[in-house]
Structure 1
Amino acid sequence: MSPLKPPGPGRLAVSTVPFADPRVQRLVDEVQAHYVVIYGGPDRSPVDPTEFEPPRGLFALGTIDGQDVAMGGWRHRPDLTELFGGALVAEIKRMYVAPPGRRQGHARRILTFLEDTAREAGAEVLVLETGLMQPDAIALYEASGYEPTVRFGHYASSDLARYFAKRLTPAPQASS
């Protein structure tokens, strides 16, 4: 993975951390409370913290001046390979930007980081599930090249769930 340039003051620094990191878990609790408000209950999708450990996955935390403001991760989904023509599939999970960090491009930065690291790990397709009550998330994914796709997973039968996929282009090869 290529090293990230250190951010300037007030800029988002993205680092990889374990899903079990207390800073991540604080943000997970925050997003779950948000889901209770907008959906009437928390997200009950099964999540195994070990799925986000390299090389099967990765979890990222975004900070600004030491404040944790954004997160997201990806995990390989071999069970979805057949649905996508034999491609190696990874799923984005737990994308979230805390209210103080919203509308500043941090979600796009986390998403780009997840796409780049998943691509470097061999993923050919990224998939995700979001909800109808999250129009900003849907707009971000559509603007980032994600297209509606087949339903899968825990909320596949929910009318509120929306599913997206994006084919990842191969990483450019370094010239010699």
Structure 2
Amino acid sequence: MTTTASSLAVLPGGRILTWADTDWDDPRGAALRESMDVELSPRYAALRQGSPRPAPPSAEDVAVVVLALVDGKPAATGTLRRLPDRWEVKRLVVDADHRRLGLASRILARLEDAARDRGAGELFLQTGNRQPEAIALYEREGWERIEVFAPYDPADGISVCFRKVLRAEP
């Protein structure tokens, strides 16, 4: 596990937000991703009916893992995945006790900056149709809906895909 701490900010209520750039195997990020699976699995159980899910990211294809710590505790995470033909945002999750603090938008911005730093001109992501809060976030942050792309199955009726053109920062 590699961790590099970075900037901090003060959140409402005087809570302290710090950032850690870490890797896929960091147990704090893994715990947040696991909590996401526990929360979301019931939303999709009836739609999936045993159909296989695309392979999750792995340590080999993940370029960046951003971890938000609030008062030193893991609060949110997001991942930038490098695929042969694109960069993809994966596994953005905010712990239930830390929602409504703007962490998801901040993570997206950090992942967009990391993609720019790696020469990406655009980013892609996939979410599910039973996650209206995620869809609203991406639309609010300037992502545009696109056709479902591989490895996601357009026939399963679950995937909602987005793309964002990355503009050079001033």
TM-score of the two chains, using structure 1 as the length reference: 0.82
Partner secondary structure for residue 38 of structure 2: helix
1:48 matched to 2:48:
no
- 1:97–1:107 CA contact under 8 A, matched in 2: yes
Pick aligned residue for 2:42 from 32, 37, 58? 37
Q: Distance in 2 between matches of 1:63 and 1:143?
A: 24
Q: Which has the higher strand share?
A: 2
Q: 1:103 to 1:170 in 2, by over 3 A?
A: same
1:76 matched to 2:63:
no
Partner secondary structure for residue 114 of structure 1: helix
1:66 matched to 2:72:
yes
Where does residue 127 of structure 1 map in the other structure? 124
Residue identity opposite 2:158 in structure 1? L
Where does residue 82 of structure 1 map in the other structure? none
Q: Distance in 1 between matches of 2:152 and 2:114?
A: 26
Superposed counterparts of 1:98-137, under 5 Å: 98-137=95-134
Q: Distance in 1 between matches of 2:92 and 2:118?
A: 19
Residue identity opposite 1:45 in structure 2? P
Root-mean-square deviation (CA, aligned residues, Å) is 2.0
Pick aligned residue for 2:169 from 153, 168, 171? 171
| Structure 2: gaps spanning 5 or more residues | none
- 2:8–2:17 CA contact under 8 A, matched in 1: no
Q: Distance in 2 between matches of 1:161 and 1:68?
A: 28
Q: Distance in 2 between matches of 1:49 and 1:136?
A: 27
Identity among equivalent pairs (%): 34
Residue identity opposite 2:99 in structure 1? R
**Displacement over 3 Å in runs of 4+:** 41-44
Q: Distance in 2 between matches of 1:5 and 1:29?
A: 26
Partner secondary structure for residue 133 of structure 1: coil
| Structure 1: gaps spanning 5 or more residues | 80-88
Where does residue 148 of structure 1 map in the other structure? 145
- 1:14–1:110 CA contact under 8 A, matched in 2: no
Residue identity opposite 2:117 in structure 1? E
| Alpha-carbon shift at residue 4 of structure 1 (Å) | 5.0
Q: Distance in 2 between matches of 1:23 and 1:45?
A: 23
Q: 1:101 to 1:161 in 2, by over 3 A?
A: same
- 1:147–1:165 CA contact under 8 A, matched in 2: yes
